[in-house]
Copies of this chain bind each other. A is one copy, B any other.
Amino acid sequence: MKVTVSRRAHFNAAHRLYRPNWSDEKNEAIFGKCNNPHYHGHNYELIVSVTGEVDPETGYVVDVKILKDFIKSEIEDTLDHKNLNLEVPEFKHKNPTAENIVIFIYNKLKVVLEDDLDLEVTLYETPRNFVSYSGK
């Protein structure tokens, strides 16, 4: 009996989308307002979903307090109130799109979770735009 346990979290960050090897015109055409060289920002909302067997003694798949602590140490401490392009090495040469951020978050959490737990991460860049990734 596999149950999925989800925990919601959030962080705020600034970012910019552009390719240094593209002309200004192409960056503007592809990334529009997101290409602003002075950066803009978002309140990122995060849902971390972990699927596994329910422990018959505790009735837990995973202790949500532990999950919350992992999200704090691995994700919030790394991304909250940061400039993603300048302060997160992963995004020095890779665009901090929602897609790339959600893969980054997935990879950071996957390694600290028990191997037999499945993971899916959903990331809201705005209330209207969001992405999800489950390692497939």
Contact = CB atoms under 8 A, between A and B. Distances in A.
Interface in A1-44: 1-10, 12-15, 17, 19, 30-34, 36, 38-43
Task: Say how many copies of this protein the assembly contains.
Answer: 6
A115 interface: no
Contacts of A59: 17, 94-97, 99-100
A81 B65 CA distance: 15
Interface in A80-136: 80-83, 86-87, 94-100, 102-103, 126-133, 136
Interface size on A, as a range, is 35 or more
Nearest to A133: B3
A32 to B, nearest CB: 7
Contacts of A41: 12-15, 39-43
A49 B45 CA distance: 17
Nearest to A67: B129
Given A15-B41, A34-B81, A3 B132 contact: yes
Interface of A: 1-10, 12-15, 17, 19, 30-34, 36, 38-43, 45, 54, 57-61, 63-65, 80-83, 86-87, 94-100, 102-103, 126-133, 136
- Lowest 9 A-B CB distances belong to which pairs? A41-B41, A38-B83, A59-B97, A59-B95, A33-B81, A14-B14, A14-B41, A40-B81, A14-B39
